[in-house]
Every structure is written in structure tokens, then in C-alpha cells.
Structure 1
Amino acid sequence: MLVVITALGLGLAPGHTLHAATVRHVPTLYLHGHRAGPNAMNALMQTAEREDHATSVLTATVNNTGQVTFTGNWPATSHRPLVKVVFLNNRTLRYNRISDWLRDVLMALQKQYGITRYNVVAHSLGNAAVLFYELRYGQYQQLPQLQKYVAIAGNFDGIPGVHRPRRKHRLGPGGKPPWVAPDYKRALGLRRHFPKHQVSVLNIYGDLGDGRHWDGKINNVSSRSLRYLLGPRLKSYQALEFSGPLAQHRLLRTNPAVISAVDHFLWP
């Protein structure tokens, strides 16, 4: 089945909700990172199908203008449905743009399949799409509501050498990062929009063990800064650190131990 939906602006009045004829089970969306391709999240999804009886139902491809194309088939009875999200422009670093693309996907899923809730697994820059979608649109109850969020290798407070210097590896009082990147500062100003006591978070990050406290790309303090940002708003929060060669930034999403932790969190 091929469905093409052109995503328009939000344009929803208070109390207005989009409906479809049949409401499906809560889907789990998988979002890739910067410069990653359509196969980036396959290991996570395939293990969920094999070990946890989940079902890959759709691929949602989003072009540069926000047009969403669905490929696949989603029967209403599908158990633990999985939706792969692919951004054709996988190089943008504009957080507003990629969070709008996620909004377009969710609105299209709501209109076509009647979803009211969703879970999400994001790697690397995909976390910026999730975070800023919720910070910018989380107050709109008529949109699908996030339930569980798995963040893998999230660059919440910047990338070393790009947004911040390669130093200061310790969090400050209350978990505050020692240096605040511009987008993190903006996120702090918007966190009141994040749904209160609704979302459970699993935050996964890697440490290569070379004394630099990073996964080869993202400093651990940047990944761990999510708790300071959202902690008071969350239903629950847990963080897992993985170490060794398979804790490298790109390899975290194919690390069997990481995948097992993700699936246990989503479907305990």
C-alpha cells in the first residue's frame, strides 16, 4: 500500500482532533541520526520483531518540504507496530525543521491510522527531532501523545568541537551541564511545554573508556544533561551507560546489549 499525505501547518483549534475510522495499537517510531540512511535502525527493529513479537508495519519517508509518504501495510490487529521514519534530507542541523518533520509524520499517522499515543526510539540527531517536537508542540493535547522515549547517544547539550569545547566532563549541582549550548538554553526556556508526568525515558549513552568520557562523537555530559532539562517533567527517568568498543557512537544502535535494554524498556 502506498499513501501520500502532504503535511500542512498545524492549524488546529483548541479541542479539535483528527480522527480515522480505526484506532490501532500504540506504534513505536524509530528515528535515525545525522547522515544515516534508511537501514540505520534495522537492527533494533528486527530484534524487536524476532524477540518481542513486534510487527514492522510502515516506513514514513519525509521530504524536504514535509511531505510524508507511507509504504507498507498496517492491519488494525498488528501487535506492537513499528514505524520506521526516514528523513530524505539527513544532513540538516536545523532542529526546528526536523521537529516539524516529525510533527508531519505524527499528524499523517493520526489522520490515516487514528493514533492517539506513540513511543519513540531515536539515535543521535534523531533525538533533537523528538525533544524539540515535544518542546514546541507538547502542549497540544489534540496531537498524538508521547508515552515512552528511548534516547540513544543524544547530543542534548551540543557536540564537542562543534557546539562546545572538548573538556569539562563532570555535571554540576543538580546535574546541570558545565557549559550550556545555545540550543540547550532554548530548550530550557521551552521545557514547560513538555507533557508533565506523562513520559517515561530511557537515556542510553556510550563511553569508549579512553579517558575522554565520550562515545567518539558526543560527550557523556551532553547525553546526560537530558535529566537536568526534563527530569521534573517526566513520569520516570533511567540512564544506562555502555562501555567498550561497541559503545562507539554509531555502533550503539547495533549493540546487542543496547537493543536488549531498549526492548525490555518498551515491552517489559
Structure 2
Amino acid sequence: MRKHIWFLLAFVALALGAAQPAPVLATIQRQVPTLYLHGHRSGPRAMAAFIKTAQAEDHATSVLTATVNNDGAVKLHGRWPVASHRPLIKVVFKNNRTLRYGKISDWLAAVITTLQHRYHIRRFNIVAHSLGNAAVLFYELRYGQYTQLPQLQKYVAIAGNFDGVPGVHRPRAAHRMGPGGKPPWMAPAYLQAMHMRSHFPKYQVSVLNIYGDLGDGRHWDGKVNNVSSRSLRYLLGSRLRSYEALEFTGPLAQHRLLRTNPAVIQATDHFLWP
């Protein structure tokens, strides 16, 4: 039951808010925001290169930082004027060490429902790095079917550990994809996602899946195997509106450096705002 607590609380809050007279600005439609979500043991500056480039080259506007504490309480910092062009929102989990996918997806749900209640958003895009992708995936598997919530449109997954991390969920060995892109080994969370994938919104979400290969013959970015990152297609391919994968190589394809790699940032922005 605990996994639905945040959704129920948020839904009640929205219902109570709807019972009050709506302010005039609530009827004005804001542009679709893009949320940036960091990975394990990262923090407020992790996705700064994406936001800085989007502002400088794509006429985007950084509007808010949403900080979530361990209890799921959300604090918003900044201003979001109605006329903001391509609004950008940084999402920060104060507890950046947990590996509990249900918990981090609840934290993301708290952010999204807070933005819905405060700013009346209906749709959103998201860019996630590393473990942040687990929050996105399990948020959509658990809450994506609720059409009264804001709906995900575009999703950029960077260095996603969809089928586990070597040395944590699976052996440290190179693996190759099986027939049809099926991963040769499935982590417990991936098996759980397989059982829930019918909950993922159908033909709604466009995905750009970015991963790195250091070129040392191990087919990984120094932390996550390419098989794990690429396993997203086998998991969700039949549910997606579109899917594209990009492999980056060389020193800047290292797991942490992917989020500051100019080519990765350029590909992300072109996908979001072609």
C-alpha cells in the first residue's frame, strides 16, 4: 500500500485545490517544461551543463529547482513566469544514495504533482542520467496510466542502468544482446519492469537512449554495461511512440562524463527542440 501513498495524497490535494476559485493565471497555458534528473551520488550541479547550453543555444529558460527530501516533501526555488520559453526545471534528491527504485519514483511523482498543482502543467519532458532513469521508468510504470496526471512526452535516457549495474546486480563481464535485443541476463528490477510494462503509456512517449562505450572491449561506459542501457528497447519498444539509440565512444563516453559531453548535450537538445 505504501507505494501508492504519494499518489493518493497528491490526488486529494489536487481535488481540494480544484474546489477553490481558480486564479486568473491558471487558465493560461505554460509551455511544456523539461525536467533534469541527476544520478546516484550526484547533486544540484550534475546536470548544469545541459541547462547552461539549452539557455545559451536553444533560447530555453531555467525557471525552477525542485528539491525533494527523504520524506518526499518538495521545495520549489525560483520563478516561473507564464511567458517563459522552453522552461527548464532541475530536480534534486537530497538523499542521493538510495537504490530503492520505488522510493525515488515516488519522489519524482511528488515533484510532478507539485508542479501540476502549482503551475497546472499537463505535459512534460525529462532528461535523466544514470540512476535517475530508474526513477523515470518506475514512475511511468506505476503512475503513467493515470491520465489525470501530467503526461510524459519526450524522454532522454543517458547511461541508464535499466538491467542492472555490473558488480552490483550482475557479474562484471561483457555481455551481448540476444535475439530481438533481449538481454542475456535480467536483474530483479528489470524482471519487475517486464511484468509491469503494459502500464507504460502506449504510443505516447518518444525516447532518445544515449550510452557510452569506452572501446576497451568490455562494452561499457566504465560503470554500466551497454547491454543494460540498450535493454530499454526490448522492455518498452512496443509501447513507445518512437525510439532512437545513440552510442558515444572515446574518453568523453565515460559514465560520469556523458553528462558534460558537448556532443551528448547537442543530441539531447536537438531531440527536445528539433
TM-score for both structures, normalised by structure 2:
0.92
| Contact persistence 1:176–1:228 (CA under 8 A) | yes
Q: For structure 2, which runs of at least 5 residues remain unmatched after alignment?
A: none
Which residue pairs with 1:71 in the alignment?
77
| Contact persistence 1:110–1:116 (CA under 8 A) | yes
| Contact persistence 1:18–1:142 (CA under 8 A) | no
User: Structure 2: which amino acid aligns with 1:228?
Assistant: Y
User: Structure 1: which amino acid aligns with 2:74?
Assistant: V
Deviation of 1:169 (Å): 2.0
Q: For structure 1, which runs of at least 5 residues remain unmatched after alignment?
A: 1-7
| Contact persistence 2:40–2:132 (CA under 8 A) | yes
Output the CA distance in 1 between the equivalents of 2:17 and 2:36. Answer: 23
| 1:243 to 2:249 alignment | yes
Which residue pairs with 1:10 in the alignment?
7
Q: Which structure has more helix as a fraction of its residues?
A: 2
| Contact persistence 2:174–2:219 (CA under 8 A) | no
| 1:260 to 2:266 alignment | yes
| Contact persistence 2:65–2:78 (CA under 8 A) | yes
Output the CA distance in 2 between the equivalents of 1:18 and 1:212. Answer: 53
| 1:175 to 2:172 alignment | no
Output the CA distance in 2 between the equivalents of 1:32 and 1:208. Answer: 21
Which residue pairs with 2:135 in the alignment?
129
Output the CA distance in 2 between the equivalents of 1:17 and 1:23. Answer: 21
Residue correspondence of structure 1 range 1-268 to structure 2 within 5 A? 9-11=6-8, 12=11, 21=26, 22-268=28-274
Deviation of 1:168 (Å): 4.3
SS in 2 for 1:225: helix
Deviation of 1:228 (Å): 0.2
Output the CA distance in 2 between the equivalents of 1:136 and 1:208. Answer: 34
Output the CA distance in 1 between the equivalents of 2:67 and 2:139. Answer: 17
Render the CA deviation track for 1:43-93: whole Å, top value 9, x for unaligned. 011000000000000000000000000000000000000000000000000
Output the CA distance in 1 between the equivalents of 2:231 and 2:16. Answer: 34
| Contact persistence 1:152–1:252 (CA under 8 A) | yes
Output the CA distance in 2 between the equivalents of 1:163 and 1:96. Answer: 17
Deviation of 1:258 (Å): 0.3
| Contact persistence 2:37–2:127 (CA under 8 A) | yes
Deviation of 1:18 (Å): 6.8
SS in 2 for 1:110: helix
Deviation of 1:248 (Å): 0.2
User: How many residues are matched?
Assistant: 260
| Contact persistence 2:66–2:91 (CA under 8 A) | yes
Output the CA distance in 2 between the equivalents of 1:181 and 1:263. Answer: 31
SS in 2 for 1:9: helix
Output the CA distance in 1 between the equivalents of 2:191 and 2:172. Answer: 19
Render the CA deviation track for 1:227-247: whole Å, top value 9, x for unaligned. 000000000000000000000
* RMSD (Å) for aligned C-alpha atoms: 1.5
User: Structure 2: which amino acid aligns with 1:10?
Assistant: F
TM-score for both structures, normalised by structure 1:
0.94
Q: Percent identity?
A: 75
| Contact persistence 2:174–2:218 (CA under 8 A) | no
Output the CA distance in 2 between the equivalents of 1:101 and 1:74. Answer: 21
